Every structure is written in structure tokens, then in C-alpha cells.
Structure 1
Amino acid sequence: MRVPLSWLREYVDLPAGETGRDVAERLVRAGLEVETVEQLGADLKGPLVVGEVLSIEELSGFKKPIRHCFVNVGGANGTGEPQEIVCGATNFAVGDKVVVVLPGAVLPGPFPISARKTYGHTSAGMICSARELGMGDDHNGIIVLPPEYEPGTDAIELLQLVDEVLDIAVTPDRGYCLSMRGVAREAATAYGLPLADPALLDVPPANSFGYLVKVDDPAGCDRFVARTVVGVDPNAKSPIWLQRRLQKAGIRPISLAVDITNYVMLEVGQPLHAYDKQRVDGPITVRRAAEGETLTTLDGVERKLAAEDLLICDNSGPIGLAGVMGGASTEILDPAAGPGTTEVIIEAAHFDPVSVARTAKRHKLPSEASKRFERGVDPEAARAAAQRAVDLLVLIAGGTAEAGVTDIAAPHPVRTITIAADLPDRVAGTAYGRETVTRRLQEIGCSVAGADVLEVTPPTWRPDLTDPYDLAEEVIRLEGYDNVPARMPNVPPGKGLTEAQRIHRRIGVALAGAGYVEVNNYPFLGEAAFEALGLEPDDRRRRTVKLVNPLNDEEPSLRTTLLPGLLGALRRNIGRGNTDLAIYETGTVFLPKDELSVAPRPAVDHRPSDEELAALDAALPDQPRRVAVALAGERLPSGWWGKGDQASWADAVEAARTVARAAGVELTVRQGQRAPWHPGRCAELVVAGTDRVVGHAGELHPRVVKALGLPARTAAMEVDIDLLTADGPQKVNGPAVSGFPVATQDVALIVDAAVPAAEVEAALRSGAGELLEAIRLFDVFTGEQVGEGKKSLAYALRFRAADRTLTADEATAAREAAVAEAVSRTGAVLRGA
């Protein structure tokens, strides 16, 4: 809503020194969103005067029309002689009154004016168009003024070129502020000044002589006021003051009748429509559309109507979309195109906001009227708005208001809200007091009765006030949000983090400490992601939970694995030049249950029952927590110190061990096979001592790498945290530091190539006993020396006692026991034996 400050002052006697920014600051404190304060004519400087065209000479020989004019500007040029001006516009004639800017003036831009030689003549000034004066975008011709203005009259004041305009972003709950009346009410309250309400008019009561109107759908139209003006001068033009106010408010002047309806809409907030009475066939009827009906609206488009559309009709059929746009068959006629309109019917009605909103959206036809009806219009303003339009038509167009007044009104129950007088105090955490609460509610138009408990009746222009907390908000905003004290809430002590939250945090800290960077991706994917990962058609990960309203039609499902999002982030970073990457993500995946159930739709007026909550939970998919990593490029960077290490499947496996250690769980790694990993470089991750598979790690399949545009040998890992910790919370102990020395023994064992290293390691651990502190595989060797189909595994065994220094015999005995167990369980042969 654009609010000219000069117009606002008509309804509120603002202090003389108040600028637009001062008013904007007050309105912002009252809760309105003032986006900008536009300074009209800030760089405009006179002389800018009314001129009378004395003569016109058409110059020939040029590519466009050029006219050499002499214009009477009175004494504004200091000599009283006619002013010589060259002009390219052709929409004026000798005797017309025009706007002339003289040398020394500055037009908006800024654009200084001086006398200059052009087209063989001296042009001492300009004859101005609306766009050159900053009045609008119309540049089709210069401004032709009414004949009553004398040459030399100051045009800056005449055209109201200097003003300030507040541009207010009106929120949906503040529909009343889409009018000067509404904004003026807020300004009056903000300044503590009286309001000159433009809707307080003497309106004659309804009678039987008014134009016949029938409302067949009182739910869609609960008020319809009709007034008639006859004897209207079809050639009457909108006066300059009316045109300028419309222009400043952002509406283009069209014709007198239309301009008056737009003006009253801006002034009072009630949309109006003007019909040519002579083109209306019979009584006006308000009804819903019938199947197959059409309507040609004022924009010249023929529209196919829906059964929900609320229509204004006569005997010929639809003549308007109620609250949206009128029809072309009854529009006010332009006298330039034939006989003009001399009899006008003014419609001021109140339509159902939902109906208007749906009709405007269905026909893609937003209008100034529909914007107001959607947000709520004061039904009691219809009579005053119609009277105001009638008065202006009589005053400007010389018409006569007929005595008949049509006013059809459906009964409206009185809305009363009960509110505790101290509710605003409790909401804001400060003390306003009952008197302040009562005064503020009365300032917004409410009637208030009661003491400790108030019975409040909201005004008809505030349909958004439906709840005690709405009233509390009004009191708080008018008292000033900046006056609400900042106080910390009293939060009851909690129980701290849950065990699951602690494990989640420990995993994140451990991975970050290992050099991984956390990323967060959208939990959506589509079939293309599964194809890129090479998943089989019967892979359970292809069974997804699909969204009814996805953000992206190509990704309509919730993820069943973290890898698509994680590998997508890896690809985007590599595409931007980050080639050495180690990233991780933790989050939930969504796995549909085998037996699907439909969730009930609980009511909104009470808490769902335990049975309803259980049914809602049962309809939800399983949402286990996962952690995944992805690596590419160098894990350890190259530099002057030498060549770095390339990230590999071993790093992905170690990331899984890092996660397990953070959760207090030990993993056993064995060979696995699962898409999207390379079948020969995929590790299956198993909780030690069980057969519970919790994830996989390794190098991605070459086809997956190619499909996703990733570097060769890209590695990844994914672990189910819930499965990993299924045995309950594990105690995580810090490493024990012993004061006794360690005894290191190396052992190399030859086994069949098919024997997993993890199985050999488990046998060594079992045989070594409690003196074994750590075991590490440091070499794998194959070749002729060990024989075909064999491999050599070399381990470093660390032995230490907690209470003494081990002897060489004790360490050797523990080593031999470990080797014996490995030989017994895996068929290993001690290398070199």
C-alpha cells in the first residue's frame, strides 16, 4: 500500500515538522512494515508553470514530427513575452494549457534545463510529459491541463509534484491497512491524535426505490449496496488532485467513474464497481456459476466459469466475477469511442474471502479488489463507500443521485472475546495494567466491558481478531515491542543428553579428529540415484517412502542410504577444484515397513488419544541412524617431504573402526560383496563376537565411479549406528598407561590365500592370552617364496604385564602359544620354520 503523506494528513493532523521517515518510524514501532519512503520531487526545481499555446509551426524535413511553438507563460519568464519552445509531441493544439519548464529549472533525474539551439530554432524550455515530471510512466504525449488555469501559475503546487510516499508491505492479517482509513487509524493511534474517519458520512437508509438486487447465495455475499447516479456528464474528466492521488498510490487514471471507484477503494478500503445502467438488463443477481457459462472480463479475455465462481448477473447472464473483475458488457463507455455513459450504478458489496481468493487464483486474475476481499473488508463500510462515490460523481460530473438506496444485509452475529485483563502482562512479561489494556483495545475500535475479565467486541474491520492472544498482541504492539523487557525464561533442569545423543556426538568428534569434514544433504532421492549406484532391481534399498508433494519431481522419495547425497557432495566439491576430500554425514534413513498402514487424521481441537498416537507411530517408516564417509584424492598430502598417500579402501575401513571405537564397540572385518562397492575390495563390518553385520566399507565399483563422475579408487563407508549399539550403552574407557616396558615379538605365518587375515588375527589373540596388549598386521606377501595359492601374513605382537616387567621367556612363551593356536585353527605354517 502506497500512502502519500499529504493525503494522510487529511485524516490525521500530524505535527507540521514530521517527515515521512518520522511517520514511518512510528508506524514500524506500531507493527507495520514500511519498506521505503519515496521522496517525490526531491530534486525538482522551478520555474515550472502553466503555459498557454499561442501558435504552432509544423517543421518539415525531419524523421519525426517537430513543432515550433510560442507559449504564453505569464510573467514567469520575467519579460511577459511568449516563450519560444521546440517540441516533438503532437497531442496538443493552439489554445491548450500545458506544463512548461523554463531555463534554470531542474527536472527529476536530475535534468537541468537551459535554452539551446535545435532544429534551426531556439528552444527556451520544454513542454512536459507526465514521465518527465516523475508523475508516472506515460510518455505518449505532453500533459494538457483544464482550461481554467491561468498562464504563469506554479505547476509544482498545482500538480502536487513534491510529496513523500510511504510504501507499506501489508501482511495478510492487516487487510484494513490496504486503505488510507486503516493506515490513518494506525498513525492516529501511534501519535495519540484524533482520527477524521472518511467513512463517517450521513447515509440515507435503505428503501424500496433502489435498483432491484437479488442475492441467491447469502453465504458468498452477505452485503450488497447499490446506488444510482443519473445525468452524468460523459465528457467530465477526473480533476488533477484526484489523478495525482491515484498516481502516487500506484494506480493509473482511466476515466472519471473508474477513477472515483478506485479513489474510494483506496480511501475507505471498500472495493467498488461501476456499471453503465443503460447496459444492465433487468435486476442484478448474485449467484454461483452454472455449467458451461462464460464471461468476458474487462481485460477482454473470455473466461470459462467454474461452479464455485460467485457471479454478478443480469437477465443476459454473467456481468462480473464477484470481488475480482467486472464484465466487458456493462463497462463504463468512453465518449471518445461513441456515446458516453450518463447513468451509473455503483456496487459496494461484501463477498466471502475464501470464494474470492479461489476465483482469483483459478482464473489467474489478481486485482486490487480481490487483494482486499481476500484479506477481509469491513462489511459496514459498504454504505459509506457507495455514498462517497455518489457524492464525487455528483460533485465532479454534475450528476444527480437517485433517491433509491439498495442495501441487502445478512444477519451477522456479534463476535465477543473473553480475555483476562492481565493476559497481555503474562504474555509480554511486564505490567501494563487493566486501564492500559482497555485503552489500547478501545483505540483499535473494540468495545470493552468488565474488570478482571474483559468482554471485548472487535470492530467489523478487524476480522483477524478471533482469540484472546490476538487482543494481547494488539496491546503489546501498540505499547511498543521495543518496550518489552528482555528476560531469560525459567527453564526447568533437564536430564542432559541421552546415551544415543552422547554416542552421536562422540562419533562426530572422532571423525572430525581423524580429518573428516561434516556435510549435510537433503534426504531426498530418485530412481536415478539407485541406477548410478548399480543396485539390483530387488535390492531392498529401492523400496522407498514417496512424498505426496516433493520439492523436486526427480527426487520424490526419502533416502534409504546416505551414499547418494554424500557422493553428490563429493562430486560437487571435486568439480569446484577440491580434489583431496574426506567428508562424512550422520543422519536418519527411511525404511518402509513390510505392512503398510494409513495414518489417522487427528482433530486439531484436542490432544490425540494414546490410541491415535500409537496408530500415527505405527504408520511411520523405520528411521535408523546411519553414518557414512567418502574419500577421494590424497589422504596424506604430498609436499617437499615426499609423496603423500592416496586414499584407499583401507582408509574407509579405518573410518568404520573409528566410529566403532567411539561407540565402545569392536569390529571384525571380513570380505563382503554389496553394491555400490567393488566386489573384490568390499569389507563387511561385523560386531566382534557376533554375526551382526552393521555396514560395509571399501572402494567403489568402477561403473559407479564412472556413472557419478568421481575420481578412480574413490572409497566410501556406511554403518548403521543403531545396529552397532544394539547391545546397549557400552562403557568407553581411555587407554591404560603402564609404567612397565613392552616386549615386541614378530611372527610371519603362511596360510592359504583364501584364509581371511581377520581369522588369523583372531586365532593369534586367542592363543596369546591376557599378556597380549596389541596386534598389528604390517605385511602381506605373495610370491614364489611362499608357494602358489599361499600368502604370508606378518604380525607385530606387543606383550606387557600390568604389574611387572616381562621376561624374555614369558614373551616367547606367549608368542609360541599364539602361533600354535593359529596353526591349529587356520592351518598356518610358521614362515622360516
Structure 2
Amino acid sequence: MRAPLSWLREYVDLPAAVTGRDVAERLIAAGLEVETVERLGSDLTGPLVVGQVLAIEELTEFKKPIRYCRVDVGTANGTGEPQSIICGARNFREGDKVAVILPGGVLPGGFEITARKTYGKVSEGMICSVRELGIGDDHDGILVLPPEHEPGTDAIELLELVDEVLDISVNPDRGYCLSMRGLARETATAFGLPLRDPALLDVPEPNDAGYPAHVEDRTACDRLVVRTVSGLRPEAHAPLWLQRRLQKAGMRPISLAVDVTNYVMLEMGQPLHAYDRARLSGPIGVRRARAGEKLTTLDGAARALDPEDLVITDNSGPVGLAGVMGGADTEIADATEEPLVGQAEGTTEIVLEIAHFDPVSVARTARRHKLSSEAARRFERGVDPRAAAAAGQRAVDLLVLLAGGTADPGVTEVAAPAAARGIVIGADHPDRVAGVAYGRETVVRRLQEIGCDVAGTDELTVTPPSWRPDLTDPNDLAEEVIRLEGYEALPSTLPRPPAGRGLNARQRLHRRVGRALAGAGYVEALNYPFLGPGALDALGLPEGDARRTTVRLVNPLSDEAPSLRTTLLPGLLDALRRNDGRGSHELALFETGLVFRPTGHEGTAVRLPVTARPADEEIAALDAALPRQPRRVAAVLAGARERAGWWGAGRPADWADAIEAARTVAREAGVELSVENDQHAPWHPGRCAALYAEVAGEKTLVGHAGELHPRVIKALGLPARACAMEADLDLIEEAASGVPTAPPVSSFPPATQDVALVVDASVPAADVEAALRAGAGDLLESLRLFDVFTGEQLGAGRKSLAYALKFRAADRTLTAEEATAARESAVAAAVERTGAAQRGA
């Protein structure tokens, strides 16, 4: 809604020093969204005056028609002599009044005017178009002014070129602010000034002498007012002040009748429509459209009507889409149009239809026909039903004043009885909502300022005004008090959550895992939880794989990804491919999030009530209809894991890094993973590790890690040798022994012993490590594999594993004999369990 400040001042006596920015600040503080304050004419400098064209000389010796004009500008030039002005426009003639800017003036955009020689003549100023004056986009011709203005009159004041316009974004619940009346009320309240309500008019009582009308659907149209004006001058046009107000508000002047209805709509927020009485056939009616009916609207489009459309009718059928747009057949005829048989040129009798329509009905009709209009915008957001009679009277008064018509005494009004909307609210309710002691007097005063009737003492009965359909419950009223008292007055207080209601164990583990992976050089990548069958095919998942059983969405965002994910890898691998394609080749990404695994027992979800807390049985039924949603963690790597530099050669990421990422996750839960060779899509069958942890005393598979299968890399367009890890965070949490404890710190020095064992190539290093740990006993503090060697000297199918064993006692310094004995015991256990032989022994 564009609101000129000069128009706003007509209803509120703002101090002269108040600017548009001052008003904007107050309205913003009251909860409105003022997007801009446009200062019209700020770069315009006079003299800009009314001129009368005395003579026109056509200069024909040039490529385009040029006119040399003599223009009377009164005494504005200081001499009283006519000005000589060159002009190329053709839409004016001798005797016309035009806007002339004289030398020394500056037009909008910094265009300075000087006397200069052009086309062989001296031009002493410029005759201005609408676009050059900054009041529109029309540049085809000169602005021709009404003939009643004398030459030399100040055109800046006449055309109201200097003004400030507030551009306000109106929220759907503030429909009353789509009018000068509503904005003036907010402004008056914000400045503590009285309001001159434009709707306070003397309106004649409804009678039987008015134009006949009837309403079939009283729920969709609860009020219909019809007024008639006759004896209008067809050639009458809207005066400059009315046209300029429409232009500043963002509307284009069209004809007097249309301009008046638009003006009243902007002023009062009540849309209304004018019909040419000679083109109406019988009474005006409001009903739902019938099957097969059509209507050509004012925009020239022929529309097939839907039975849900609300239409305005006469005896010939629909003549308008109710609340949206009128029909072309009953359009107001311009004086230049071909008159009807037996009718004078132009429209001389007008029937005004002013109604209150159901917002939902209008909104659906506008969307159904893809037809947005200023009237529909207002009806959708709620129009004051009691403003119809006043809006009709205002339009009648303007037509009589500006076109010399006569208001017919007949007034037709069809209205359904409306029940009073009383809201009971405690006088201290706004205080409890805001945490501020406003007091009863402040609450009552603020509610009365927005137009409410308030009765009662400690418990108030509040009747909202007819223009505020958004006020329906006590919290709406509390919000009004709070915003008018000022949001800036609300104290800043931190909430005080009760003890024990912080993050739960699952959430804490989730955060620790994210921090640990980020510290290890991984970047978190959040992806949409949707996938399609193509993504699962690219991963090479076999038929019958549990990950192929998905939850399909009823309304997916994309037909290519209609299901919820069962694994995190598709989204992460797509992010890896996209970043690699854009030049980032050293990549390490991770994600933690939910996956959705159907159990096969899901049912139809129940619709829970919103009026009260659902029963436990209803919540249980809703939970039973949901799939399992375990939280998982995944990581993907490609390119160099360690870059080359002056410190030495780099190292590409490989399967071991993916396994280490899983161990990093497990360490945050205090869980020790065991790793075994496995074959599991989408990993390489020879470079895939199954990750196990002890859950509830049982060895449980918690994830996989390793290098991706070459076919998967090719199908997804990934970098060569890309690696990935995915694990179940919930299972890892279950495997945790409880609150992680810090390792004991000994003040005694460690004793380090190395051992190299030769085993068959098929023996997992994890088995050898387990045997060493079991044999070393309690003195073993840590064990690390630091070398793997194969060669001819070991024999075919043999490998050497070198371990560093660190021994330490908590209460003493170990002797060499104790450390050696522990080492020998560890070797003996490894020899017995795995068939190892000590290298070099």
C-alpha cells in the first residue's frame, strides 16, 4: 500500500515538522512494515508553471516533425511576454494549457533547463510530458492540463509534485491497512492525535425506491448496497488532485467513474464497482455460477466459470466476478465510444454496487482464474462490512460534485444479521503475556484506541471493531496492547529452564561427533533427505537389500526423488562430485542425520486434535505409523589426505582413512571398534571393512568403511579411489559403557618393547592384536601396529606385522625383567592363537 503523506494529513493533523521518515518510524514501532519512503520532487526546481499555447509554427525542413511554439506563461518569466519553445510532440494544439519549465529550472533526474539554440531557433524552456515531470511513464506526448487554470500558475503546487510516499507491505492479518482510513488510524494512534474518520458520513436509510437487488448466497455475501447516480456529464474527467492521488498510490487514472471508485477503495478500503445503467438488464443479483456459464472480464479475457465462483448478475447472466473484476458488457462507456441505440454519447447513469464478500470465496476465485486485482487483495484480507454504505455515499458525493449528476433518493441494502463478537479477557492478560505491568487503564485505553468496545473491571468483555476480523481471541488483544505500548519496551530476559532439561545423551554424542570430525579435517555437508531409485541403482545395491525399501512421499518436491533416504551416502557423494567438478579436489565431507527404515508394520497416521493435548493412545498410534528413524553418521574422502610440500611427499586418501573416521566417531562414545573384512555395496569387495562393537554383550555390526567400488565411482562420476564410511550412531551410543571416564595418569615411566610377528597373509591384524592384548596382561598400556612387510624372504602367502607395546605400572617403575616377561607372554599368546612366528627368533 502506497500512502502519500499529503493525503494522510487530511485525516490526521500532523505537525508541519513531521516528515515521512518520522511517520515511518512510528508505524514500524507499531508493527507495520514500511519498506521505503519515497521523496517525490526532491530534485525538482522551478520555475515550473502553467502555460497556454498561443501559436504553433510547423518546421518541416527536418527529418522529424518539429513545432515552434509561442506560449503564454503569465508573469512567471518576469516580462509577461510569451516564451518561444521548441517541441516535437503532436498531441496538443493552440489554446491548450500545458506544463512549462523555464530556463533555470531543474527536472527530476538532474536535467537542467537553459535557453539554447536548436533546429535554427532559440528554445526558451521546455513543454513537459508526464514522464519528464516524474509522475508517470508516459513519454509519447505532452501533459495537457485542464483549461480552467490561468497561465503562470505554479504547476509544482498544482500537480502536487513535491510529496513523500510511504510504501507499506501489509501482512495478511492487517487488511484494514490497505486503505488510507486504516493507515490514518494507525498514524493517529502512534502520534496520540485525533482521527478524522472518512467513513463518518450521513448516509440515507435504505428504502424500497432503490435499484432492485437480491442475494441468493447470504454466507458468501452478507451485505449488498446499491446506489444510483443520474444526469452525469459524459465528458467529465477527474480533477488533477484526484488523479495525482491515484498516481502516487500506484494507480493509473482511467475515467471519472473508475477513478472515483478506485479513489474510494483506497480511501476507505471498500472495493466497489460502477455499472452503466443502460447496459444492465434487470435487477442486480449475487449467486454462485452455473455450469457452462461464461464471462468476458474487463481485461478482455473470456472465462469459463466454475460452480464455486461467486458472480454478480442481471437478467442476462453474469456481469462480474464478485470481488475480483467486473464484466466487459456493463463497462462504463467513455464519451468517445460508439453510443448504444437511443442513448446519449457516453455514460450518463451509473449504478454503484458495494458489497461485502466472503474472503475465502474471493481468494479461491482469484486463484482459480489467475486473476489478481486490487479489489481481490482487499477482500482476501478482510473488508469492513459496515463500511459499504459509507463508501457508497462517498462515491455518490464525488460523482455529483465532479460530474454534475444527481443522486437518486433510492438506497438498496441487503444485509444478513451479524452476531456481536465478544471476547472475554482478563485485565492482566497482556501483563502476563509480555511480562510487563501495563495495568488495567493502559489495557483499556489501547483497546479503545483500535476501536474496541470494552466493558468490565477485572474481567473485560471486548467487542472488536468491524474492520478488525483478525481479532478473535485474548492473545490477539494482548498483542495489540503490546505493539502499541512498544515492542522496544519489552524487557530482555533469559529463560530459566528447569534443571535436567538440557541436551540428552543422544544430542550430546551428536555434537561431540561433529566437533571431532571437523577437528580431523572434515567439512559438514547437510543434504536433503530425499532420494530416488536411480541413486540406489548407482550405488549397486542388490535386489532385496533393506536399503531399497523406502518410504515414499505423497507430495514429493521432485518426481526424481520421491522417497525418504535409507542411507546418507547418496547426498554426500553427490556433494563430493559437485565440489570436485568445481575445482575442489582434496575433499573430506561428513554428515550426521536421520535415515528412514520402514518396518513393514506402519499404518495410516491419525489426525491429532489441535484443541487439546492428544491422548496417550493417539500418540502411540501415531508413533506406530512412523518408520524407524535411526541417526547415522557418514563421511566421504577423495584426493590428497596429506598434501605434498617442503616437509615431504603427500599421501592420497585411502580405505584406512575411512576406517579411522569411524574410529574417531567411536572414540567420542568411548567405544572400541573391531574391524573385519567384508563385502557390502557400494564398497570395493577387497577393500571393505565391517565395523563391529559390543552392544548389550553381543558383537553387533554398526557400519562399514572402505574404498568405493569402481563401478559406483564410474556411475556417479566420482574421483578415482574415493572412500566412504557410514555407521549407526544410535548403536554406537548403545555400545557406550556410560559416561566416558578419563584414562588414569601414572607418574611412573613407561617401558616400550617392539615385536615383529610373521603370520599367514589371511590372518587379520586385528586377531593378532587381540592375542597380544590378552597375553600381555594388565601391565599393557597401549599397542600400535607400526609396520607391515611382505617379501620373498618371508615366503609366499606370509606377512610380517610389527607392533610397539607400551607397558606401565600404576604404583612402581617396571624393571626390564617385568617388561620382557610381559612381552614374552604376549608373543606366546599370539603364537598359540594365530600360529605366528616371532621374526628374527
TM-score range normalised by the length of the shorter chain:
over 0.9
Once the two structures are superposed, the pairs formed by residues 302-321 of structure 1 within 5 Å of their partners are: 302-321=302-321
Question: One-letter code of the match for 2:373?
Answer: S
Partner of 2:342: none
SS of the residue 2:98 aligns to: strand
Aligned residue among 563, 566, 577 for 1:560: 566
Q: What displacement does 1:758 show?
A: 1.7
Aligned residue among 702, 706, 717 for 1:698: 706
Pair 1:515–1:259, CA change in 2 (3 A):
same
CA contact (8 A) 1:293 1:304 kept: yes
Q: Give per-residue Cα distances to partners, 1:187-206, cap 9 Å, x unaligned.
A: 11122222111111111111
The total of aligned residue pairs comes to 833
Partner of 2:793: 785
Q: Give per-residue Cα distances to partners, 1:382-436, cap 9 Å, x unaligned.
A: 0011111111111111111111111000110000000111111122222221111
Question: One-letter code of the match for 1:605?
Answer: T
Whether 1:746 and 2:749 are equivalent positions in the alignment is no
Q: What displacement does 1:268 show?
A: 0.9
Partner of 2:486: 480
SS of the residue 1:571 aligns to: helix
- Structure 1 segments unaligned to the other structure (5+ residues): none
Partner of 1:626: 632
Partner of 2:176: 176
Partner of 1:389: 395
CA contact (8 A) 2:669 2:736 kept: no
Distance 1:111 1:478 in 2: 44
Distance 1:497 1:385 in 2: 59
CA contact (8 A) 1:274 1:332 kept: yes
Distance 1:658 1:14 in 2: 68
Distance 1:812 1:442 in 2: 93
Q: What displacement does 1:297 show?
A: 0.5
Aligned residue among 733, 755, 774 for 2:763: 755
Aligned residue among 425, 428, 438 for 2:434: 428
**Greater mean alpha carbon deviation, residues 341-350 or residues 581-590:** 581-590
Q: Give per-residue Cα distances to partners, 1:422-454, cap 9 Å, x unaligned.
A: 111122222221111111111111111111111
Q: What TM-score do you get using the length of structure 2 for normalisation?
A: 0.96
Q: Give per-residue Cα distances to partners, 1:551-589, cap 9 Å, x unaligned.
A: 444333322222222233333443444333333222222
SS of the residue 1:94 aligns to: coil
Whether 1:263 and 2:263 are equivalent positions in the alignment is yes
Q: Give per-residue Cα distances to partners, 1:456-484, cap 9 Å, x unaligned.
A: 11110110110111111111111122222
Question: One-letter code of the match for 1:526?
Answer: G
Aligned residue among 411, 421, 429 for 1:415: 421
Pair 1:809–1:192, CA change in 2 (3 A):
closer
CA contact (8 A) 2:601 2:625 kept: no
Q: What displacement does 1:143 show?
A: 1.2
Distance 1:511 1:554 in 2: 31
Aligned residue among 361, 367, 380 for 1:361: 367
SS of the residue 1:337 aligns to: coil
Pair 1:430–1:803, CA change in 2 (3 A):
closer
Aligned residue among 559, 575, 597 for 2:603: 597
Distance 1:490 1:805 in 2: 52
Distance 2:748 2:26 in 1: 78
Partner of 2:275: 275
Q: What displacement does 1:53 show?
A: 1.2
Distance 1:529 1:120 in 2: 76
**Greater mean alpha carbon deviation, residues 2-11 or residues 753-762:** 753-762
Whether 1:709 and 2:714 are equivalent positions in the alignment is no
Partner of 1:249: 249
Distance 1:488 1:795 in 2: 55
Distance 2:716 2:739 in 1: 40
Q: Give per-residue Cα distances to partners, 1:296-347, cap 9 Å, x unaligned.
A: 1000001111111100111111110000000101000112122311111001
Q: What TM-score do you get using the length of structure 1 for normalisation?
A: 0.96
Q: What displacement does 1:58 show?
A: 2.0
Distance 2:112 2:739 in 1: 83
Partner of 2:26: 26
Partner of 2:449: 443
SS of the residue 1:611 aligns to: helix
Partner of 1:734: 742
Q: What displacement does 1:790 show?
A: 2.9
SS of the residue 1:628 aligns to: strand
**Greater mean alpha carbon deviation, residues 773-782 or residues 200-209:** 773-782
Pair 1:6–1:533, CA change in 2 (3 A):
same
- Structure 2 segments unaligned to the other structure (5+ residues): 340-345
Question: One-letter code of the match for 2:606?
Answer: P
CA contact (8 A) 1:499 1:729 kept: no
**Aligned-pair RMSD on alpha carbons?**
1.9
**Greater mean alpha carbon deviation, residues 295-304 or residues 558-567:** 558-567
Question: One-letter code of the match for 1:759?
Answer: D
Once the two structures are superposed, the pairs formed by residues 43-442 of structure 1 within 5 Å of their partners are: 43-339=43-339, 340-442=346-448
Pair 1:690–1:668, CA change in 2 (3 A):
farther
Question: One-letter code of the match for 1:488?
Answer: L
Q: Give per-residue Cα distances to partners, 1:355-375, cap 9 Å, x unaligned.
A: 001111111111000000011
Q: What displacement does 1:531 show?
A: 3.1
Distance 2:838 2:369 in 1: 86
Q: What displacement does 1:249 show?
A: 0.7
**Greater mean alpha carbon deviation, residues 346-355 or residues 782-791:** 782-791
Question: One-letter code of the match for 1:429?
Answer: G
**Greater mean alpha carbon deviation, residues 454-463 or residues 741-750:** 741-750
Distance 1:365 1:73 in 2: 47
Partner of 1:678: 684
Partner of 1:586: 592
**Greater mean alpha carbon deviation, residues 184-193 or residues 819-828:** 819-828
SS of the residue 2:194 aligns to: coil
Q: What displacement does 1:731 show?
A: 4.5
Q: What displacement does 1:707 show?
A: 3.3
**Greater mean alpha carbon deviation, residues 534-543 or residues 652-661:** 534-543
Partner of 1:494: 500
Distance 1:457 1:300 in 2: 44
CA contact (8 A) 1:26 1:190 kept: yes
Question: One-letter code of the match for 1:492?
Answer: P
CA contact (8 A) 1:69 1:87 kept: yes
Distance 1:406 1:503 in 2: 72
CA contact (8 A) 2:670 2:736 kept: no
Distance 1:80 1:504 in 2: 86
Distance 1:27 1:41 in 2: 23
Question: One-letter code of the match for 1:123?
Answer: S
Partner of 1:776: 784
CA contact (8 A) 1:705 1:712 kept: yes
SS of the residue 2:741 aligns to: coil
Distance 2:651 2:735 in 1: 36
